[in-house]
Structure 1
């Protein structure tokens, strides 16, 4: 178990221009590392977050500690130097369907060698726009069910990538929040049907199975706009006692600050699928450990490997994070047996 203070957790930020300048200083070595020199490649990325979101800014300034920063650092290790033998382009799909369509078209017009996507909705939109440009999804919870790939082992087509969780995670989240709040009679499930896998059903089956076995009532709390968040959470502050589960959902990640603030306002315990919510002051999260492995696939694709020949990879480790200060504020005493299993306890 690792205990970290806020100062210890804060990664040292590097200005992106300094980072690129540092990468350029290694340009003389890129031929030795085996990158081809015939032309400058284009690596494109589509994100559901606004470009001025804290997570986006952090991704572009911290090297190996974030997905995009780690990608750039990983490519440099493999001989690909930004501004020398490839260019990195990023666009945001935030702002609704029209913005998504425009962002995808902007990237397609660049004729990139590979496009990285960050959510299920983005992957579907890019796939609808091209059947030839290689696509690597950073997270997809049901790539076979969504029709992205033929199978995990043999994706086929022009798409591959990484999954972030399985359908059984729903039941695991319920087990964990019940350990933290053992006397709950209800569990609310927060999600946006438009942006979570199978409109929520991907996780709901296992949540409902676990709830039936433990005598807990499942109450759906769908939201479609930021204005819905307060109403969706506030009703779980009333009797009978309840806790909540946040599903894997790009809409919820974008609105994580408002969600966490609202749970504090109404004293509603909630478990989240990503550490991003913990950084915003959440109670607990259980999800995949961040592993920046996309550089491996992007490198292979830039060298000529077909995306459809690269198997979809699943997380190798999941981590449990608990914020004991938030628990105290909610009037919860987290059992020692649960604290002992935590990978990180925040104070």
Structure 2
């Protein structure tokens, strides 16, 4: 009986070794699939994915991360309903995602309220230091890092370019849904003083329905112009903004090239897809173990100028050759 028992045990051991799942030498125990949360107040939740997010996912794929294969991407897009952003950020935090990619200031503020531990990657924040997300660009120091969307001096450049394109410009106003950074306002004021352009009080709107009444009031006096910095509302409703500038014959400069492609006069700023592609590199580093506190925030290395000559002609403007030769994109 003893010999029979040993024989059966030996057979059982052989079968166990033959049919036990093979584990490659040096392989680690299987870990959970990383989850990436995307948060945007302006992006539409339905329809084709916005080009900037396509660029982001393409960049991740190039880095070896594919949604549905080795990562899971959770999208929280508010489609212009800014009141949803806070609850979306809280959802992502409660889900325990491994990293949150958030677009502008309101989105990142919502993330900061929701979590102080989950890594967050900023994409469209002009000045992360002034906005309070990081201690410094070189040493963020918390759970935020990513790409800054602006560089010092861009406010002055807006006034200079608009005055160059529209020499009769006598006053300008900022159009947007939130107050701008003090440094940005100082830059615009300084340029206005140097060029003899009055800086009017900002035109603040919180709903698309407020756009036309606000722009119409400003356009009551002649020789005015608009500056439209990075802003979720004016970007989402850029066709309406551009149409109003045309209707009230207001030369305007925008941050985003997409405004010019929609019929706006001119734009000066970084390209959105490039910023989102750069954000993907931060996600890659974080998923591989890097801490956001140790990843320096990166600023744009190049701002592009786009000009729409068709719009200039409609406004009765002759864009000088010295401006056109500096443009990266000219729409005829």
Question: Which residue of structure 1 aligns with residue 137 of structure 2?
Answer: 152
Matched residue count: 303
Q: Is the 8 A contact 1:36 1:303 kept in 2?
A: no
State the alpha-carbon separation in 1 of the partners of residues 139 and 296 from structure 2. 6
Q: Is the 8 A contact 2:80 2:232 kept in 1?
A: no
Deviation, structure 1 residue 255: 2.0
Question: Which residue of structure 2 aligns with residue 89 of structure 1?
Answer: 74
Deviation string 1:161-202 (CA, Å, 9 cap, x unpaired) is 111113521110000000000111111221222xx544xx34
Q: Is the 8 A contact 1:236 1:243 kept in 2?
A: no
Q: Is the 8 A contact 1:203 1:247 kept in 2?
A: no
> Which sections of structure 1, spanning at least 5 residues, go unmatched?
1-34, 60-65
Assess, with a 3 A threshold, how the Cα gap between structure 1 residues 261 and 305 changes in structure 2: closer, same or farther.
same
Deviation, structure 1 residue 331: 1.1
State the alpha-carbon separation in 1 of the partners of residues 82 and 204 from structure 2. 19
Question: Which residue of structure 2 aligns with residue 25 of structure 1?
Answer: none
Out of 242, 254, 272, which is 1:272 matched to? 254
Question: Which residue of structure 2 aligns with residue 39 of structure 1?
Answer: 32
Deviation string 1:213-267 (CA, Å, 9 cap, x unpaired) is 1111111222222222112222344443111111222222122121111111111
Assess, with a 3 A threshold, how the Cα gap between structure 1 residues 116 and 204 changes in structure 2: closer, same or farther.
same
Matches within 5 A, 1:128-207: 128-193=113-178, 196-198=179-181, 201-207=182-188
Out of 41, 64, 67, which is 1:48 matched to? 41
Matched, 1:240 2:233: no
Question: Which residue of structure 2 aligns with residue 11 of structure 1?
Answer: none
Q: SS of the residue aligned with 2:109?
A: helix
Q: Is the 8 A contact 1:161 1:312 kept in 2?
A: yes
Matches within 5 A, 1:180-329: 180-193=165-178, 196-198=179-181, 201-220=182-201, 221-290=203-272, 291=274, 292-329=277-314
Q: SS of the residue aligned with 1:162?
A: strand
Question: Which residue of structure 1 aligns with residue 12 of structure 2?
Answer: none
State the alpha-carbon separation in 1 of the partners of residues 183 and 72 from structure 2. 36
State the alpha-carbon separation in 2 of the partners of residues 346 and 312 from structure 1. 33
Cα RMSD, aligned residues only:
2.2
Q: SS of the residue aligned with 1:320?
A: strand
State the alpha-carbon separation in 2 of the partners of residues 277 and 331 from structure 1. 19
> Which sections of structure 2, spanning at least 5 residues, go unmatched?
1-27
Matches within 5 A, 1:6-25: none
Deviation, structure 1 residue 344: 0.7
Deviation, structure 1 residue 53: 7.3
State the alpha-carbon separation in 1 of the partners of residues 152 and 46 from structure 2. 29
Q: Is the 8 A contact 1:165 1:315 kept in 2?
A: yes
Question: Which residue of structure 2 aligns with residue 101 of structure 1?
Answer: 86
Deviation, structure 1 residue 154: 0.4
TM-score using structure 2 length: 0.85
Q: Is the 8 A contact 1:141 1:197 kept in 2?
A: no
